[in-house]
Each structure stands twice: as C-alpha cells, then as structure tokens.
Amino acid sequence: MAAWSCLVTGAGGFLGQKIISFLMEEKDLQEIRALDKNFRPDTREEFSKLQTKAKVTVLEGDILDAQCLRRACQGVSVVIHTAALIDVNGINPRQTIMDINLTGTQLLLEACVHASVPIFIYTSTVETALPNNYNEIIHNAQEEENHECISTDPYPHSKKLAEKAVLAANGCTLKNGGTLHTCSLRPMYIYGEGNKFLLPIVMTALRTNGVLRKTGPLSLVNPVYVGNVAWAHILACRGLRDPKKAPNIQGQFYYISDDTPHQSYDDLNYIMCKEWGFCLDPKPTPPLFLLYWLAFLLEAVSFLLRPIYEYRPSFTRHLVVLTNSVYTFSYKKAQRDLGYEPRFSWEEAKQKTTEWIGSLVKLHKGTLKSKAQ
C-alpha cells in the first residue's frame, strides 16, 4: 500500500489517545494529525515523546469551525472521527449537543469532500440501538436486526442522525473526482483506564469510605475495553484501504464488543474497584417503574417551564432505560468483515483498569497526607 496520512478528531480523549497509539504501528503511515478543541498539557507531552516513523502533528481547533476542518483534512488519506460531546445526563444544552455531534460531523464530511479525503470512519455508539423501554430485551443482537432507539434525548438522537449522515455519504463524489467511502463503529459502553464515567464514581467513593454509588443495578450489558475499541478502528482503517476488503465494509456499521462477561454496570464497577477496599452501596434502589415515571414527570416539568426557564431534569427516561435494561450485542459481523478479534483479553483489560483505579486511590491518599502535614 502507498504512503498515507490520518486525521483523528477527539484525539485528546479517552478513545482518541488509544487509537493514535495503535496508529503508530501502521506501515507506510507518514503523518498522524491529532485534532481536539483543547489538549491537556500531559497529553501534549505524551504526544511529543512518541517514538514513531510517522510525524505526529497536534492541532487545536473547534469541530464547528469549517475552515479549521478544511485545513486539517488537506492532504489526508483517512479521517477517524471520534470527537463528540458524550452527555447522557443532559448537563449541556440540547442545542450544544446537537451542534457538536451532528453539525460537527456534517461539517467534517463536507471538509473531506472538499479536501478529497477518500476514507471516513465514524465512532458511533450502542445507544443508537438501545431498547426503547426497560421491558424490552436485546440479547446478542446483530446488525441485520436493525435495532433503533427512538429516544429524542439529545445524545442518542444526535449520534443516530450523525451516523445516518456518515453512511449516506458513502459513495459521494470528492472534489478530485474520487469517491468517499465510509463506515461506522458502534461500541458498547467503553471501560478502561481514564474512563470519565467511572472516575467521578471512584472519587466520590473515596470521600464516602469506599462506598460505590449504584448506577445500573438491573442492567445486563456487555461492556467493551477501550483498547479493543481502538483496535477495531485500526482494522476498519486497514479494511477500507484494502481494495479486496473495502467493498464489503463501505457504507456499513458494526457493533464492537469483546469477551468481557455480560454483567450489570454496578458489578463491573465493583469488580474493578474491590481490590482497593471499595464496596457497593448496600441501600436498596427504588422500584424501576417508579424511577421511570418520576423521570417522565421531570421531563414534563422541563417541557412546561421551557418558555420561561431552562430546567434540565436530573435524570430522564432514556437514562433509566440505559442503566437498567438487558441489551447485549455480537461482534460477529466485525469479525467477518474487518477480521476483528479482541486484542486484549478480559483478564488483561480488568488488570489494566484495576491498576489505574489503584493509582487514583494512591493519589488521593497522598493528597490527604499532604493536607494533614
């Protein structure tokens, strides 16, 4: 294969950094462009220390800045688009979430067409295919079953529309007369070192004698390790660059899971934390139907107050379903088309995540000791 270059959006994030670390292993890769709105100083330092034949260019820019995106895409062979505002709690305004996740993706697709970038890989989410109520069970689902979440919550809705835009763009004509080829990856809930959802749970537990708050006691899901999700992106990139494999991948979406045991979110958190003395909150959780209807009432209040006051509910019906339902998905299609096999076993993923949590515990104890002195 000829020399090539790759742009990764959201490069400073949990997943983006892993993708870049794996890209460094790729043959004939001349340049990796790492784009994000803001990079933490430690991330910048890590990128600057990378030992790779490919040049690593760090770019700071807004996903809603069309000119910035056009410059970033100029001369690039592949775009891996992981940048997104992940907000399942509705903390950010709806329009902000829709702008970043949907409009940003549309602008990036336009930039690819203008700069004649032939390959576009999109990081979607399993939330586009979640159950539509907590009584619905999805077990080892495959892509052909066409599960679709109808929630209008801004995060899943924006990601669903953005994925549709990406897949619809497959086959469109580029400025140089070439053709754009796209695909989308739908990872399960991603865990691993640096997970921004587990981090606040751990930090809160450190302030409450190691008691982990419950987030989804009634769920049964198949979480996926961040390293395996990153690996799937690399394989999608290889596949779309391979003339023999590409026709089967173009315009397709893939569920990305691994061999992590099916379990609840709370069990996953506990397994990762128990070595450090953590325990699950023993208090019983309210009945699920009560939580669901309370969420409905909060959403109704938010709707009624909208003309005069921006009230954002503390939780929604979508969040109740997300954290308390049974939904698992198979990676057989990714295995067949992309040659995907998990790069990290469950034991390896568990060990890496547990060690990261241990570093947080030690840092917290060190901080307390310094304050005491």
Task: Write the pLDDT tens digit of every residue in 202-214.
Answer: 999 999 999 999 9
Partnered with residue 121 across adjacent β-strands are 80, 183
Q: Can you give the residue ranges of every domain in the chain? A: 4-194+223-259+329-342
Q: Do 91 and 153 form a contact (C-beta atoms < 8 A)?
A: no
Looking up tokens 């309210």 gives: 286
Q: Tens digit of pLDDT for each residue in 226-240?
A: 999 999 999 999 999
Which residue type sits at 31? E
Residue 177 tokens read as 């007369």
Using the predicted structure, report yes or no on whether residue 369 has a pLDDT greater than 80: no
pLDDT number for residue 2: 79
- Annotated catalytic residues are 155
Q: What number does CATH give the domain 4-194+223-259+329-342?
A: 3.40.50.720
Number of Cα atoms under 13 Å in the Cβ half of residue 114:
15
What are residue 217's phi and psi, to 5 degrees?
Answer: -65, -25
Mean pLDDT of the 118-127 span: 98
Per-residue pLDDT at 54: 85
